[in-house]
Structure 1
Amino acid sequence: MIKVLAAVAAGGAIGSSLRFLTSVWVQRHWPQHFYMATFSVNLVGCFLIGLLSGLFLTRTDIPLELRTGLTVGLLGGLTTFSSFSLETIRLIEGGQAAVAFGYLAASVLCGLLAAWGGLSLARL
């Protein structure tokens, strides 16, 4: 259990750091589109969790520490539903309701499609 916890903690630190660096980069280059950092990491994370989950179904020899560290740790730290929710509210409060609802719909739909795409790719 300690090894699994350590793998989750290490993966979470890496995933959270990647999310932070993505946000910094987007803020520097497209400050008016601050929400695209969260959108991007959520899509990547959804795709990767689908892909990895599919691979782990067929590769039971992969250690639990690695599987859990990647999915719960790395991808859990990378994806950011709470940030997504706050950013949607900020857009609405900023008078950008149409952008907020577009962001909401695109995030949910594209996230589901990305997870399905990753899982489908893993099943090939």
Structure 2
Amino acid sequence: MTAPGNRVHEPIDPDLDSTMRTRRREATRGQAPVVAVVAAGGALGAAARYGAGLIWPTAPGAFPWTTLAINAIGCAIIGVFMVVITDGWAVHRLVRPFVGTGILGGFTTFSTYAVDIVRLIDAGRARTALGYLALTLLVALGAVWAAAATTRRLIAGRRS
């Protein structure tokens, strides 16, 4: 037992001075709002993706058009969003993690894309799986690029 008035000190890493520990604590506290908005946005995006799957279901063994469309739409929105917040308007520091990482990260579904590929292979449709793998990559990258380029042109046109 410790005598009254004597404080017990936890071991301290001698390589960390007190200012580094304080900065680390402040950084951790500053990340809580970011984590919260990413989680909230992710829930919204995942719910929207789930709803799209209910509205436009993919039959077992069929080509996964819904997942391809969701990823293409989400990537296009990411392209627009990133240009708007970097070239267009100043936004609150939590907008990017909420919309970009949270909503759009939850909406786009590259994990389902991977599962779809495995399901197509398991169904004996390896060529379709390979085509889907390549098509999704091309469509997703093309959607981001086209949406970003179009948005940049529109923003530049408004400024002139």
**Structure showing the higher helix proportion among its residues:** 1
Structure with the larger RCO, 1 or 2 (CA within 8 Å, 6+ apart): 1
Structure 1: give runs of 5+ residues left out of the alignment: none
SS in structure 1 of the partner of residue 38 of structure 2: helix
Structure 2 counterpart of 1:58, from 87, 90, 94: 87
Residue identity in the other structure for 1:77: G
Contact kept, 8 Å, 1:8 with 1:69, in 2: the verdict is: yes
* Structure 1 segments (4+ residues) deviating >3 Å: none
Which residue in 2 is equivalent to 1:77? 106
CA deviations over 1:81-100 (Å, ceiling 9, x no partner): 11101110110110112221
Q: Which is greater in Rg?
A: 2
RMSD: 1.6
SS in structure 2 of the partner of residue 64 of structure 1: coil
Structure 2: give runs of 5+ residues left out of the alignment: 1-30, 154-160
Q: How many pairs were matched up?
A: 122
Structure 2 counterpart of 1:31, from 49, 59, 63: 59
Question: d(CA) in 1 for partners of 2:151 and 2:97?
Answer: 17
Cα–Cα, structure 1 residues 34 and 6, in superposed 2: closer, same or farther, change >3 Å? farther
Structure 1 residue 7 corresponds to structure 2 residue 37: yes
Identity of aligned residues (%): 34
Which residue in 2 is equivalent to 1:99? 128
User: What is the CA-CA distance between 1:34 and the residue it aligns to?
Assistant: 6.1
